[in-house]
Amino acid sequence: MTTDATSPSADRPTNEPLYVDGEDDLETIVSDRDVVLVDFYADWCGPCQMLEPVLDGLAAETDATIAKVDVDSNQQLAAAYGVRGVPTLLVFADGEQVEQHTGALPADRLRSLIERYTE
């Protein structure tokens, strides 16, 4: 999958997490990028806060795009993906959802999860 230079998400950096602003934004990110790890999080969530530096590192170190969805600001989007707890992590490869995990995962497990689809 190639990135269209005219797409709104094409000029957004991939070496840091992208903050999602609604369903259309998420769909654009997922369709424009090969592998996307989506973190459904909440600011008040302790495990989400612990996961944040891990995701920042993965954004810089891997070929995947890390997208973050604030469930408090995007309740309908979270419901559409069946998010019932935070953090919930979704992996998209070539525009299709291929994984979903609820709860904070260790960095090595997240890295291997990403590498499963980027290699």
CB 37 within 8 A of CB 48: no
Rounded-to-integer distance, Cα 92 and Cα 33, Å:
9
Task: Tell me: cis bond preceding 87? Omega within 30 of 0 counts.
Answer: yes
Q: Is 45 a catalytic residue?
A: yes
Q: 35, 36, 48, 91: which one is catalytic?
A: 48
Three-class secondary structure of residue 98 per DSSP: strand
Task: Say what the pLDDT of residue 15 is.
Answer: 87
pLDDT by 10s per residue, the chain, length 119: 333 333 444 556 678 999 999 999 999 999 999 999 999 999 999 999 999 999 999 999 999 999 999 999 999 999 999 999 999 999 999 999 999 999 999 999 999 999 999 88
Contacts for 115 with CB less than 8 Å, ≥ 6 apart: 62
Q: 7, 10, 45, 47: which one is catalytic?
A: 45
C-alpha distance across the termini of the chain, in Å: 14
Both tokens of 28, joined, read 């654009």
